[in-house]
Amino acid sequence: MAPVLAALRRVFTSKEPDLDRELTRTLGLLEDDSPQTLQKVAGLLTTDSHPSDDIHALIVISRLKASRTAALTRRVAGAMLALDEKVAKRKLNRDNNWAPRLRELHRELAARDAGLNAALLAHAEFGRADHVLWVEAPGLDRRKAAEIFLARAAKQAEFPWNAGLIQLLAELPEERSLPVLRKLWGQVGLDDVLLPLLARQPREEDRERFLRGLTSPQLALVRSSLSALEKLPARKSGESILAVLLALRRLPSDREAERVRQQMAGYLAKLSGVTQPDVPAWVAWFRKTYPNLAGRLADDDGVDVAGWARRLDRVAWERGDAARGARIYARAACASCHSGAQALGPDLAGVAGRFSRADLFTAILQPSKDVSTRYRTTSVTTADGKIYQGIIIYEAVDGLLLQTGPAATVRIANRQIVEKRLTAASLMPAGLLDSLKDEELADLYAYLRSLGAPRPRRRRCRKPGSFLLARSLLP
């Protein structure tokens, strides 16, 4: 092996980009321990280098065994922190595997370099919202990272909060995090991420938020919302009872959901003052007791379809303003799932040209009515009774990677899986438009019309090895 490594070292660098990619890939596979090789590969990380080349170089560095100098560690940290900004400046698309693959890369780099995590946090650039990608590796001080992000947000009026940052703030003491999190409700389109954190200390002002949480397809979110509601004084209103009844009707028939079903039936009895033997009996009771709300039982998403049709008919669509609609788009939780590296739903560019206005609003109001096969969720039950629901973004012989939210993925080994089934449910929650005024609906539609056609996808590079992986993350 030594003669082979010596020969490769002599040739690298060749000044021929394609040859150098193959040389570095091979040196990485052989886990070269030469300090000179490590320095040369790190030298490829420049302010002008292409992000796919940077990813390739970082993958190779994660395999090289030579000791890291402080200067090299800082260079790697700087390249990692600049990566997303480079992608954005070049207006490149990101593959769905972008975030989980780069987190895995970070773990490998940190395993080789004990000083990397500290170098990331000490870097002058650390604190942009996209840097939350780099806070998952073992050994990184997440509390310190959260404080850095908070300090940056305090100085930036329009700080672009995301799901990962909100989850990171949960690392801080509740008296430090909850005041900040409550201010973010309804502003950044990430209410489903905020909800479990608010449920730790439920307040009366959160009641409607927890009732909305019952509509989630995520059983964990339903359970935390229900538990939070139980801690608040019971409010015996038709709207509250309807929300709980709709949630009860949507629960799947499996072991984990059965516990939630019993808990929910008990809470429903507490709200209504009556008990019923099963869901059909509850529905019949509700129709008789609240006839003015009974129409919303006709739809699985709890939508008054006829009422919304009448309302949409009277909207002055021609008065819509796209700039105002862009702000509503973010506030209504659209951006977190239809934009960015971890989008759960389709790119909405050109959506108003592909669908009529009526069909588009039907899809928003009734997200589980007609779910494309590509975006149908998979429910996975594990041996310990847990249920995960999301979109499979990677599956292999030993397990799968399931994306359960804008910034949430879970890796499940095949030996842990008891049941895996495709569902008809969408991860998109119902009720996103309920709080909007008629003029805001017009503004939102004007913004969707302004998005234009989607960017053409670049032809993928056919280079082998780690460079192919790097290119595949930027389709």
Question: Domain 311-371+429-450: which CATH class?
Answer: mainly alpha
Place of tokens 């100085």: 155
pLDDT at 189: 62
**Positive or negative CA dihedral for 354, 311, 213, 187?**
positive
Instruction: Determine the number of helices (DSSP H) and then strands (DSSP E) in the chain.
Output: 23, 5
278-315 pLDDT per residue, tens: 999 999 999 999 999 888 777 655 577 788 888 999 99
Asked whether the predicted pLDDT for residue 460 surpasses 50, the reply is no
Q: What is the pLDDT of residues 68-104, one digit of tens each?
A: 999 999 999 999 999 999 998 988 877 767 888 899 8
Structural element, H or E, at residue 240: helix 238-250
**Nearest to 170, CA basis, from 153, 193, 187, 186:** 193
Query: What are the backbone angles phi and psi of residue 392, rounded to the nearest 5°?
Result: -70, 120
Give the sign of the dihedral formed by CA 169, CA 171, CA 172, CA 174. Answer: positive
Residue that has been written with the tokens 């009771």 in this structure = 285
In three-state secondary structure terms, 388 is strand
**Whole-number Cα distances in Å, 70 to 18, 115, 116, 121:** 29, 8, 9, 14
Helix %, strand %, coil % of the chain (to 5): 55, 5, 35
Would the CATH topology of 311-371+429-450 be identical to that of 377-422? no
pLDDT digits (tens, 9 = 90+) for 387-441: 788 888 778 888 888 887 766 778 899 999 988 888 777 777 777 777 789 999 9
The answer to whether 125 and 155 are in contact (CB under 8 A) is: no
Q: Does domain 377-422 have CATH number 3.40.50.1980?
A: no
- Spatial separation of the C-alpha atoms in residues 472 and 461, rounded to whole Å: 8
Distance from C-alpha of 88 to C-alpha of 110, rounded to nearest angstrom: 25
Q: Are 406 and 342 contacting, i.e. CB atoms less than 8 angstroms apart?
A: yes
| Res 379 pLDDT > 60 | yes
54 touches 26 (CB < 8 A): no
Q: Which of 157, 158, 89, 97 is nearest to 133 (CA)?
A: 97
Residue spans per domain, the chain: 2-139+464-472, 199-298, 311-371+429-450, 377-422
Angle, helices 438-450/357-365, rounded to nearest 10 degrees: 110
The string of pLDDT tens digits covering residues 9-61 is: 888 888 888 999 999 999 999 999 999 999 999 999 999 999 999 999 999 99
Tell me the pLDDT tens digit for each residue of 146-198.
999 999 998 987 888 888 899 899 889 988 888 888 888 876 567 878 898 99
Q: Is the Cβ–Cβ distance between 357 and 365 less than 8 Å?
A: no
Q: What is the mean pLDDT of the chain?
A: 85
